[in-house]
Each structure stands twice: as C-alpha cells, then as structure tokens.
Amino acid sequence: MVPNGWESATLGDLVNKSAFGPRFTSELYSEDGAIGTIRTTDLYNEGEINYATIPYANLDISEYEEHALKEGDLLITRSGTCGIPCIFTEQEKPIIAGAFLIRFQLNNKIDSKFLHEALKSAPIQSNIKRMSAGGVQKNLTGTSLRKLLIPVPPLTEQRKIATILGTWDKAISTTERLIDNSKQQKKALMQQLLTGKKRLLDDSGKPFKGEWEDFYLHDAAKIIVSPVDKKTVEGEIPVELCNYTDVYYNTRITNSIDFMKATAKKSEIDKYTLQVNDVIITKDSETPGDIAIPALVSENLGGTVCGYHLAIIRPNSRLAEGAYLNYLFSMPKTRYYFFTLATGATRFGLSIGGINKAHFTLPPLDEQQKIASVLTNADQEIELLEQQLADLKQEKKALMQQLLTGKRRVKLDEKEVT
C-alpha cells in the first residue's frame, strides 16, 4: 500500500533508456585525455562521485557522443558491490560511465535527487541485493533493475523531500570534512612533536629544553609476551581476556570493550594481567603490515589478562609514558621498522629480541606527558566529531524511513516536516 496521492512505480517507469558503459583499456588514460570515465572506484560516501579521481582517456569524442553523461543521469554499479546509486553532475569535459556501471536517463516523472535518496534507502537496497546474481562476483542487469518497485509521490513532494534530506547530507559532508581535516592536523602534529621539530611549553610557560636521549626499548620498558589462549580449561581460573582484535581495532583499551571469557593459571594471571599505562602490540599476524599495531591500556580493567599473539610493553615509570609510546608506535617510521623485522611465510611474527632492540629517541618524561596530553586532546576532538557523524547518519536514516514511505508527510508550503 502506498500513501494517498503516491504511486508504486517501477524504475522502468521512471527512465527513458538504459545502457552499460563502454569498455576500453586503461592504457588510453593520460593527463590531457579528452573523455573522463567514472569507475566504481570513483564512488564514495554511499553514492557520491569523486570527480577528482576520474581518469581521462585519449578517445575521439565523436565516437562516444551517445555515451556522454547528462546532468541528472542515474548510474548504478552492476558488478562487485552491486546497487550503489549515484547522480551525475555535468563537468567541464565530457564524461562517460565505465563498463561496470549502468546508466539510466530519467524522464520527467521523477526528481533525480529524490530517486537517489530512495535508491539508497534500506528497503530498496535490500531488494536490489536480492536481484543480484552470481557466486562470489555478484552482477546486476538493467532488465532486472527496471522491475524495481519504488514508492513515488507527486513531483512537488519529491522535491521537498529531496531538499530536506539534502540538508542532512550537507551536515554529514561538513562533519566528514571536519574529521578529515582534524586527522590531517593531528598527523602533522604527531610528526612535529614526536620528532622534536616542535617543542611545547612546560608548566612555567617556557619551551621544553631538556635533551632527548637514545634508548633501546628494553631499557625504557619491560617486554612481556603472553601465551594465554582463548580456551576454557577445567580447573583454571575464569578471566576476561584482551585478545588480538581488541588491540587491532582500538587505539585505547577500556572497560567499554566486551572482553572474551576464558580461563588461565594463577601464575599466568599474576604475570599477564594488564595495568594502566601498558601498551599492547600485535606480535603475530597474517600480514607483516599488521605487526606491532599498538593500543594503550588507559584505565583500570579490573584484572583483564593479555591474550595470545600480543606483547605487553610496560614502561619504566621513570623513563617512559605509556601514552607517548602508544603514539610513537603509530608513527610510519616505527611501523616500517617492525614491518622489516616480521618473519614468516603464511603467518608473520616478531621475536622478543626484535622488540627489545627497537630504538627510540625519547624526550624527558614531563615533555612526553605533555606531548601525549596534546595528542590525546586531538584524538578526543576527532572522536567527538565521529560520534556526531554517526548520530547524523542515524537520524537521517530514521527520517528517510518516514519520508520515503509516506509515513511522514511534508508541508508543501513550509520547509519543516509535519
């Protein structure tokens, strides 16, 4: 059932014609190419086109004139990640759709921006996924997509809905740009502060002047490699276990993580229980690039034990600050050092000797603490923005569910939703 005044239309009812993009080799791409080609890799943010990454090819425009995209054309990915919709905006040079995109030229029954939002909605995306055929590599056809049912209000209501949802899109895009800018600023700040190119002010308001000293890691911290696995063994003591994925996907280890339940011997609990200021790194991985990824134990975990395939870096409290080491392990130079030390064939790992002999130049402890505090504040600002972004996306999703189904109607003479 559709709301009063709406109709249930197929995508075929809303388009004049459809076609696959032409296929040609990337050898034709050049900086001064005449025709741009939108590839699936040029799509981002759930259906936006990144015009900055589009390659241009040396082709005769007259031979591809019928394929040249027009303002408002709908493109849908037909292979790989099927069903991503995007709307084309005309550019300075002619652009065509790549071979893995289906182009739909819309008729005057549908507003392109409304259709874009409708096609991104969860119910319609679910229907598109069911249409895709194939095994590992899914595929869509223009014929199947033309049968896709879409609830369609009158044009005036379509445009008002698109305007309302577009306002949310602008807020989302703005927040995404703020996050990107903040991450770039933090990256630059890390490069300056962790190399001594920029010195902060001490508590008296004067720049730090203490000499930085060279240390092997084992001189500034104790290295503890955990053997505790995920098994539950009768007779052992129940524990919560911090495992590989907890470290891999988090920069800080806190009580908000749902730790795995396992068991361990008392001697293991005594030796491998995590402490505040510990830095945990991934010691083993399937790829060398995932070796030595760090995470800081930033709060008391109440007895959580470090699991297998991990190593604890426990700083000497007189020489090193855990939060500072955590950032130091995230630096490209450090990442590359451990990458070169990883050995193995199908699984890669670090030796204790390799970890112990990692070489760092450390500032005095009070400067480490100040640097870590500044970078932690930068992280918290990024996390706040990321939470705001998640909230905006969730709120837009809920609004889409109401507006695109007619459960909530818009006033055509006002901007707000009724």
pLDDT of residue 295: 98
What is the token pair recorded at 312? Answer: 């604890």
> Is residue 281 within 8 Å of residue 217, measured between CB atoms?
no
pLDDT of residue 80: 78
Percent of the chain at pLDDT exceeding 70: 97
Q: pLDDT band for position 1 (50/70/90)?
A: confident
Q: What is the pLDDT of residues 106-125, one digit of tens each?
A: 999 999 999 999 999 999 99
Average pLDDT over residues 204-216: 92
Average pLDDT over residues 365-371: 97
pLDDT of residue 418: 45
Q: Which domains can be identified in the chain, with CATH numbers?
A: 7-152 (3.90.220.20), 154-203+364-418 (1.10.287.1120), 213-362 (3.90.220.20)
Residue 13 has pLDDT above 80, yes or no: yes
Average pLDDT over residues 95-102: 92
> Is residue 289 within 8 Å of residue 339, measured between CB atoms?
yes
Q: How many CA atoms lie within 13 A of 410 on its CB side?
A: 25
Q: What is the pLDDT of residues 15-27, one digit of tens each?
A: 998 988 887 777 8
Average pLDDT over residues 215-220: 95
Average pLDDT over residues 386-411: 94
pLDDT of residue 59: 84
Q: How many CA atoms lie within 13 A of 305 on its CB side?
A: 25
Determine which of 143-157, 192-206, 400-414 has the lowest per-residue pLDDT on average.
400-414
Q: pLDDT band for position 319 (50/70/90)?
A: very high
- In the numeric block, the tokens 């939108």 are attached to 38
Which amino acid belongs to residue 56? Y
Q: pLDDT band for position 135 (50/70/90)?
A: low
> Is residue 150 within 8 Å of residue 335, measured between CB atoms?
no
Determine which of 122-136, 180-194, 235-249 has the lowest per-residue pLDDT on average.
122-136
Percent of the chain at pLDDT exceeding 90: 76
pLDDT of residue 24: 76
Q: What is the pLDDT of residues 25-82, one digit of tens each?
A: 778 888 889 899 999 999 987 789 999 999 999 888 888 888 999 999 999 999 878 8
Q: What is the pLDDT of residues 229-278, one digit of tens each?
A: 999 999 999 999 999 999 999 999 999 999 999 999 999 999 999 999 99
Cα(340)–Cα(362) distance, rounded to whole angstroms? 22
Identify any residues that bridge with 222 across adjacent strands, giving them in sequence order: 314
Query: Across all residues in the chain, what is the average pLDDT?
Result: 92
pLDDT of residue 136: 60
Average pLDDT over residues 326-330: 96
Residue 414 has pLDDT above 60, yes or no: no
pLDDT of residue 417: 45
Cα(68)–Cα(38) distance, rounded to whole angstroms? 11
Residue 287 has pLDDT above 60, yes or no: yes
Which amino acid belongs to residue 350? L
pLDDT of residue 54: 93
Q: What is the pLDDT of residues 146-176, one digit of tens each?
A: 999 999 999 999 999 999 999 999 999 999 9
Q: Could you tell me the pTM of the whole model?
A: 0.83
- In the numeric block, the tokens 């086109």 are attached to 49
Residues 6+ apart with CB under 8 A from 223: 217, 311, 312, 313, 314, 352, 355, 356
Residue 131 has pLDDT above 90, yes or no: no
- By C-alpha distance, which of 224, 175, 193 is closest to 384? 175
Residue 416 has pLDDT above 50, yes or no: no
Task: Rounding to the nearest 10 degrees, give the CA dihedral for residues 317, 323, 327, 330.
Answer: 90
